[in-house]
Structure 1
């Protein structure tokens, strides 16, 4: 579980160039290890991968536990994980890319694309992006178990929830909603003429150089795939199987921590979006009553100990994920877990807070 000597050397050389540096690379890495081990305690159980980068340079990267319990395979920093709802970042950017191309507008009503959608003339893409649409979240429907393992088309998924009673008037409240992002994925297909899978692969993963990221599959052979697990009273078990056509654009992507850094760099460098479109993703918006809520397009817009950040987590059977970006210091922290018994959310937040505090002391 030790950091590689090359990573320590790089960080140490960088720190030694900074007058007044208070922490060595070794002590920073050790402190991060300690934070992780408060949650990821079982070295023979499922584990995780954590990475910290500043200004695009990796300053910490470490793997814990096992990638595969049955084969007794240790986790490595390049293992591939399902990222759950971190998928929403990619869906939101895909919508903004289509807006940038003049093919849609975030203020367009859903009815422009799906004419028979109930109340679709009053629900906009903006409402879907910001979780303010009021439509029923399909993950809260009791009948979800009936389709969880079936191969569903995006249209079938939309039909599954579209006639459910709405929870509130569009724009009245913020309520996290997977149905909204599934709808956005379907609209991406309708507008682009490509499948969501192909659009994300061609226009985002390939452009950003994310060679180990992809739409999830339980059938295809995926190199370096980490197995997913649950913890039951009897011990660890393999994750429950689902059809990835069900979470679709709300939670069906896979990636590595290194690829997620490439993603963050692509956003920072405006490789995918121009500054105007990028700004739409990373700002807060208001409800109908003028109240501001802390969600942009695909990211929570929050603060960490008073410093603005952008963050989002994910959870899907057998996996959890979390990523935090601090723009003012160009710090990116991402953590993946291959057991939904180990959440990386607090650990990732604690690591980000530690690194931020360390930098502010210099």
Structure 2
């Protein structure tokens, strides 16, 4: 069971257990979200549908913060959904297969012969992350161009320079490159743009009014910005949506997302045969789907992360239950919120989270500052401060604020991490996933 782990680029694969009930304690779920908002632990929006009917939807926090001017989010606020986009792309690929314009065995070489192993890589392998194509967003150079518009030619030139990570089909590794290319292939086959095909093949077809291919965030169109929290919410830089494309460029509301996945499982978008292709797991990867176990139930869906937004979309076929959650401000883990919401929905034991941080002065943090390393973990962690907030940053990763919980203990609830410092020995113990690592300050 995974309730405290955060996966930024990979899907979250486990939640809590429960049993299905058609009625649930909605005020208790309200209280959970109000508590998160009151303690500035999360901002976002959630929707739950039972047999295609919305039974709960609520937004909390703000879609935009501009100094003292704060715009409250509502259930129609749109958020960047990141890799949930891949499910939409896969649906359109399967629609083209059903129209006889493509097959699962078609090779990438038909469209992009210049790419590594193009003659060996099939559409099926791209859909299930078995292609071996290198994940372009994992390269350090990606940060240098992520905010700038890129054409198909420019992106494929980047992909062509990247060596394959492994031979196609021998294993699976998550790669956004697969779905950017699948988005381009949709355009090549149809002669229309991805946004046009998305509208024609999915959103108009099933009546989604708050789902579309994103551009620069437009707050006047009720689109949310994303925020990090360091002594308050600060806006996160935006990726230009020409870059993630079919891998992560869609903007949507949670309500539209549950309608989408309901329609998918109801056979309104692709055949049941192709839905089974999406659901079939190999090396824990389906075709734009992953499994989300909930006790004896099996859910299917995807999670997403882009520019500080985190999202989850899950469908439980046995109960015809769907849930979508999108956050644009995260301190408390999004998978924890979905797990808590499902526990409330299924009337399972549930403890309301408590947030009891300790207030420290800037000078109190000085004894913790420095660069730390561990013989058991191949990275260093830099401990710095921003006014009265301690900041932790691991090698090659973003910086995150650490909350003081007393007795030299600090936590990052977002990732289920806790640090306990020993200022005499100039070290700290790092706790995560039941594992403990000793870090010592460099001299």
Q: Same fold (TM over 0.5)?
A: yes
1:193 corresponding residue in structure 2: 191
1:296 Cα deviation after fit: 1.5
1:263 Cα deviation after fit: 0.6
CA contact (8 A) 1:305 1:353 kept: no
1:265 Cα deviation after fit: 2.6
Q: Which runs of 5+ in 1 are unaligned?
A: 1-20, 286-292
Query: TM-score, normalized by length of structure 2?
Result: 0.69
Aligned-partner SS, 1:218: coil
Map residues 248-267 of structure 1 onto 2, 5 A cutoff.
248-267=245-264
1:304–1:115 CA distance, 2 compared to 1 (3 A): same
Task: Pick the structure with more helix per residue.
Answer: 1
Out of 112, 119, 122, the position equivalent to 2:110 is 112
Larger radius of gyration: 2
1:37 Cα deviation after fit: 5.5
1:5 corresponding residue in structure 2: none
Aligned-partner SS, 2:329: coil
1:105 Cα deviation after fit: 0.5
For residues 52 and 178 of structure 1, what CA distance do their matches in structure 2 show? 28
Out of 78, 90, 94, the position equivalent to 2:88 is 90
> What's the CA shift string for 1:53-95, capped at 9, x where partnerless?
1111122212222222223222212211110111111011111
Provide the aligned length of Structure 1 versus Structure 2. 327
1:305 corresponding residue in structure 2: 295
1:18 corresponding residue in structure 2: none
For residues 346 and 221 of structure 1, what CA distance do their matches in structure 2 show? 28
Aligned-partner SS, 1:59: strand
Structure 2 residue 326 is the aligned partner of structure 1 residue 331: no
CA contact (8 A) 1:51 1:58 kept: yes
CA contact (8 A) 1:46 1:69 kept: no
> What's the CA shift string for 1:273-310, capped at 9, x where partnerless?
1222222112223xxxxxxx222111102421121110
Aligned-partner SS, 2:58: strand
For residues 21 and 175 of structure 2, what CA distance do their matches in structure 1 show? 43
For residues 220 and 189 of structure 2, what CA distance do their matches in structure 1 show? 30
1:51 corresponding residue in structure 2: 47
1:350 Cα deviation after fit: 3.2
Aligned-partner SS, 1:339: strand
Aligned-partner SS, 1:328: coil
For residues 33 and 254 of structure 2, what CA distance do their matches in structure 1 show? 15
CA contact (8 A) 1:53 1:331 kept: yes
Aligned-partner SS, 1:127: helix
Query: TM-score, normalized by length of structure 1?
Result: 0.84
1:221 Cα deviation after fit: 6.2
1:112 Cα deviation after fit: 1.5
For residues 113 and 200 of structure 1, what CA distance do their matches in structure 2 show? 20
1:153–1:146 CA distance, 2 compared to 1 (3 A): same
CA contact (8 A) 2:217 2:224 kept: no
2:338 corresponding residue in structure 1: 348
1:236 corresponding residue in structure 2: 233
Structure 2 residue 273 is the aligned partner of structure 1 residue 282: no
For residues 216 and 134 of structure 1, what CA distance do their matches in structure 2 show? 28
1:299–1:323 CA distance, 2 compared to 1 (3 A): same
Q: Which runs of 5+ in 2 are unaligned?
A: 1-19, 349-443
1:319 corresponding residue in structure 2: 309
Task: Pick the structure with more strand per residue.
Answer: 2
Aligned-partner SS, 1:320: strand
Out of 119, 123, 126, the position equivalent to 1:125 is 123
> What's the CA shift string for 1:99-149, capped at 9, x where partnerless?
011000111110012122221111111111111111110011121123212
For residues 86 and 163 of structure 2, what CA distance do their matches in structure 1 show? 24
Aligned-partner SS, 1:156: helix
1:222–1:120 CA distance, 2 compared to 1 (3 A): farther
